[in-house]
Structure 1
Amino acid sequence: MVRRGDGHGRARRPRLPGVPGDRGGDPGTGRGGRRRPGLPRRDPAGRGEGRRGRWTGSRRGRVGRIHRRGAGEGVRRSRPDQLAREGVPHRHRAPRGLILCKHQTRLQSLPVPRSDAPNRALVIGSLLTLWIVWGSTYLALRWALEGFPPMLLNGIRFLFAGGALYLLIRRRFRATRAQMRNSFMAGGLMLFGGVGMVTMAEHHGIGSAVAATAIAVTPVWIGVASGLFGEWPGKREWVGLAIGLAGTVILGMEGDFQASPVGLAYILAAPIIWSFASVWGTKLDVPADPLSNTAVQLTAGGVVMTLVGLLTGESITAMPSARAWWALAYLAIVGSLLAYTAYIYLMHTVRPSLATSYAYVNPVVAVFLGVTLGGEKLSGAIYMALPLILVAIALVATAPAKQEAPRLEPEPAEQPA
């Protein structure tokens, strides 16, 4: 047939059964049957089914339809004569000049293998940092208190560390308002209740070695804090908790504690608040990036302790000594910026018992530095309490993890294509 008025004798395309005509209107085009060249024809039977009921494709290819044989088995293209033998209606065949696939949604939903195992070198480096650095911060705190009041000292320290870390990671910093709020609350409570209380204890006359030994019960309180969130310790952890409390009672016979009951109250409250805030922070929606989370928490600790120091009337009345300035710089850069980042990384990547294993080594480092560099004199009480506390930590840290019963969920039925 020759269409009139064309002038060049172009043959008219015959109508196919089941296919809307050129002027009959195609539901897939929405333009009264006229479709722009190269655009695919949609499946009229798939209207209202979203992306799964539509044909999609590109301009290149051959006539045919893509069949999905199964997960991971690839695809094949059917020839028009094969489609006719299979009884596939014309409306389900691909338009000429297109490669089409109706199963894009299912192909994109295939699982991508990935590894969530933490970097072993980072874990070892973070553990060594906590073991050595945090064991030395007790003596550094004592030296810094020679020229700075306790709360303003920590406020300056954490504000500097948080601001410096943010400047280093500002291009990769990612956090929503809710995540920043949660991280601010957890970090403010952890640093004020942990580091702030230790600083106040040393300010009231508690020696660095004695303070580190008292803080060594932190893993025991971590187990109790985990129980408050639904993971109660087992029998072995309860035995360790009892031994740790006995060691703490013996440690209370140390001369520093007898001379300063206020310092004793501060040093006993510090590991309890620190442990609760540490476990609570892992249950909140905080920034996924450990560095972003650390920057917010360090800033929160600095803001909270600066406000507390100003409200309680603290002020720097005289120029601090050079040793106090060097101690402050060490606490801000090494003790906060480096070590606290390592602690947050470990709390979100390894078991809490391993993340708090610094309590094994910190008392030994603190006692050695306090006696050799700080000139501290210790009585026999600390040498009796330290072994008991270390045994308690070992019982808690090496306790077998509880096995949760596997939950059997019904396998979802495969939806028809």
Structure 2
Amino acid sequence: MARNHAGLYFLMTFNMMVWGLNAVALKWLVLYFPPLPMQGIRLFLAGLALLPLMLVKGSWKPLSSKEWGWTAGIILTGVVGHHSLLAWGLTLTTATSAVLILALLPLMTSSLACLFLREKITGTGLCGILLGLAGVILVVFRGDDYSSTSGWGNLLIAGCMLSQAVSFILIKKATDTIDTKQLTSLMFLAGSVLIFLIGLFVSPDGISIMANGPLWVWAVLILSGVVASGWGHMMYNSAIHKLGPGQTALFNNLTPFFALVGSALLLGETIQWTQAAGFLLIVSGVFLGTGVWRTRRDSRMETPSGETGIGSLPLNHGEMTKEKQSHP
């Protein structure tokens, strides 16, 4: 019988809200702390937050050499590459420009999924991607911001986006046999150490600067690491295993809207009518791209849909035996 992923869709939408607010938090943090040492500590906290879950559920297991290979690739692309370039880029460009570039993530991930995982993109899925991208562009468009952005900063954010898209493909392969909590904890613990060591060379006085930082900034850093990065990425990695990287990445279209809402509430910015209209396009894109309309119809049927991939009923891409081995 067709599986109904409505609960997972709700959790992913909530996760995108947390990530949208986290974009505002990161912009605050790079104003007070050096970007790379800050990211190293923040992501280390994210990895620590997941350790109790693994110990309670006993989900830790020794990894094979092949699994270590997937994990190393994810650490380099999804943690060191993505988070280092993100923090560095935010010091050189505006948050609005960064959000616009990162909005290309679903298209990049879907393209890589088609090339390397042979995921299918149906007509409705393609329409969903294009609608979501159009909505993102409309939401984040502010003409006066682009005159002050740095070309180098935008290039770093583009590299950050590409690095994360590659990591999503690797995560899909790795979570066939590795528990998502173990993978997420490993990638943050190991990746954060690498980022912190790099940060010591780039910002030798970074530790002393952070030690003298305001307590409320440290509170933002801890919440950002534990909630947004730790628990948020664990949930996202679990969704990649169940829905596939291409379909899961569609939810990233919601992040810019929540980032702008957070900016309005926390920074006093005004939401324009173009941004509200863009949000409607984003919701429509996610609705079509994830196949929610098809899921509700097929949930009444006895025979499952034969399609998989973006725009179709999101069946699990792994075999049942593999699904029993991992517990996302």
Work out whether the TM-score is over 0.5. Answer: yes
SS at structure 2 position matched to 1:182: helix
- Inter-partner Cα distance in structure 2 for 1:402 and 1:377: 38
What's the CA shift string for 1:148-174, capped at 9, x where partnerless? Answer: 211111111111221342354244311
- Aligned residue runs from structure 1 range 16-165, under 5 A: 123=8, 126-165=11-50
Q: Structure 1 residues 198 and 321, CA, compared in 2 at 3 Å: closer, same or farther?
A: same
8 Å CA contact 1:150–1:200 kept in 2: the answer is yes
8 Å CA contact 2:100–2:137 kept in 1: the answer is no
Q: Structure 1 residues 262 and 396, CA, compared in 2 at 3 Å: closer, same or farther?
A: farther
SS at structure 2 position matched to 1:264: helix
Task: Please say which structure displays the higher CA radius of gyration.
Answer: 1
What's the CA shift string for 1:87-107, capped at 9, x where partnerless? Answer: xxxxxxxxxxxxxxxxxxxxx
Cα distance, 1:283 vs. partner? Answer: 2.0
- Aligned residue runs from structure 1 range 307-322, under 5 A: 307-313=197-203, 315-316=205-206, 317-318=208-209, 319-322=212-215
Q: Which residue of 2 aligns with 1:350?
A: 243
Cα distance, 1:380 vs. partner? Answer: 8.9
8 Å CA contact 1:202–1:263 kept in 2: the answer is yes
SS at structure 2 position matched to 1:176: coil
Q: Which residue of 2 aligns with 1:257?
A: 146
8 Å CA contact 1:291–1:341 kept in 2: the answer is yes
Residue 185 of structure 2 corresponds to residue 295 of structure 1: yes
8 Å CA contact 1:218–1:272 kept in 2: the answer is yes
Residue 113 of structure 2 corresponds to residue 226 of structure 1: yes
Q: 2:54 aligns with which of 148, 153, 169?
A: 169
- Inter-partner Cα distance in structure 1 for 2:254 and 2:45: 27
Q: 1:200 aligns with which of 88, 92, 98?
A: 88
Q: Structure 1 residues 394 and 117, CA, compared in 2 at 3 Å: closer, same or farther?
A: closer
> 1 or 2, which has the higher helix percentage?
2
- Inter-partner Cα distance in structure 2 for 1:376 and 1:194: 27
What's the CA shift string for 1:22-72, capped at 9, x where partnerless? Answer: xxxxxxxxxxxxxxxxxxxxxxxxxxxxxxxxxxxxxxxxxxxxxxxxxxx
What's the CA shift string for 1:346-397, capped at 9, x where partnerless? Answer: 1112344553343243222211111221244788986787676666656644
Cα distance, 1:205 vs. partner? Answer: 3.7
8 Å CA contact 2:125–2:312 kept in 1: the answer is no
8 Å CA contact 1:135–1:362 kept in 2: the answer is yes
Q: 1:365 aligns with which of 236, 258, 266?
A: 258
8 Å CA contact 1:157–1:328 kept in 2: the answer is yes
Q: Structure 1 residues 160 and 233, CA, compared in 2 at 3 Å: closer, same or farther?
A: same
Residue 103 of structure 2 corresponds to residue 216 of structure 1: yes
Select between 388-397 and 193-202 the one with higher mean Cα deviation: 388-397
Q: Structure 1 residues 373 and 400, CA, compared in 2 at 3 Å: closer, same or farther?
A: closer
Q: Structure 1 residues 200 and 240, CA, compared in 2 at 3 Å: closer, same or farther?
A: farther
Residue 229 of structure 2 corresponds to residue 341 of structure 1: no
- Inter-partner Cα distance in structure 2 for 1:402 and 1:361: 20
Q: 2:157 aligns with which of 237, 245, 267?
A: 267
Q: Which amino acid is the alignment partner of residue 135 of structure 1?
A: G
Q: Which residue of 2 aligns with 1:112?
A: none
Q: 1:279 aligns with which of 169, 172, 178?
A: 169
Gaps of 5+ in 1: 1-114, 404-417
| Length-normalised TM-score, structure 2 | 0.71
Cα distance, 1:244 vs. partner? Answer: 6.7
Cα distance, 1:285 vs. partner? Answer: 6.6
Q: 2:68 aligns with which of 167, 180, 183?
A: 180
Q: Which residue of 1 aligns with 2:324?
A: none
What's the CA shift string for 1:86-129, capped at 9, x where partnerless? Answer: xxxxxxxxxxxxxxxxxxxxxxxxxxxxx9969975x3563244
How much identity, in percent, do the aligned residues show?
A: 20
Gaps of 5+ in 2: 292-309, 315-328
8 Å CA contact 2:113–2:246 kept in 1: the answer is no
Q: Which amino acid is the alignment partner of residue 147 of structure 2?
A: Q
